[in-house]
Homo-oligomer: A and B are copies of this chain.
Amino acid sequence: MEFDDKVPIYYQIEQYIDREIITGNLAPGDQVPAVRQLALTLTVNVNTIQRALAELIRQGILVSERGKGNFVTTDTMVIAKMKRRVIETELAKTYEHLAGLDMAPAEMVAALEAYIETREEGERHE
């Protein structure tokens, strides 16, 4: 995994785990890989992992069981809410940024479609 050094690593790990849960790679009730395992896989320090997990635990997305491990909550409401929040935040950020470039809503959609088109062409020729 690559990190953007403009934002804290612990924050990127938080988002990474959010995504793993949203996509179902980590299902409700699943055990999250051990802290030391994640530290190895992502090549970051154990404490940095802990900090990311602590925030997810605080949000109720993960639950910690002492000596057993960390688990994805089985409360699907919490997960559904998180998913909505993540997507909404992403779209809102895109909207704000493009609006800040004086783009009208219809132009944004067109730009995204054009981008996807270009990208897919690029992939076809790889």
Query: Which of B8, B45, B86, B119 is within 8 Å of A95, CB to CB?
Result: B119
Copies in the assembly, this chain: 4
Please give, as numbers and ranges, the residues of chain B lying within 8 Å of A86 by CB-CB distance.
101
B contact residues around A111 at 8 Å (CB): 87, 91
Residues of A at the B interface (CB closer than 8 Å) are 5-9, 11, 19, 22-24, 45, 58, 64, 66-67, 83, 86-88, 90-95, 97-98, 100-102, 105, 108-109, 111-113, 115-116, 119-120
- Contact partner, A94, options B9, B58, B94, Cβ 8 Å: B94
Known: A6-B11, A109-B109. A115 touches B101 (CB 8 A): no
Q: Is the CB of A90 within 8 A of B95?
A: no
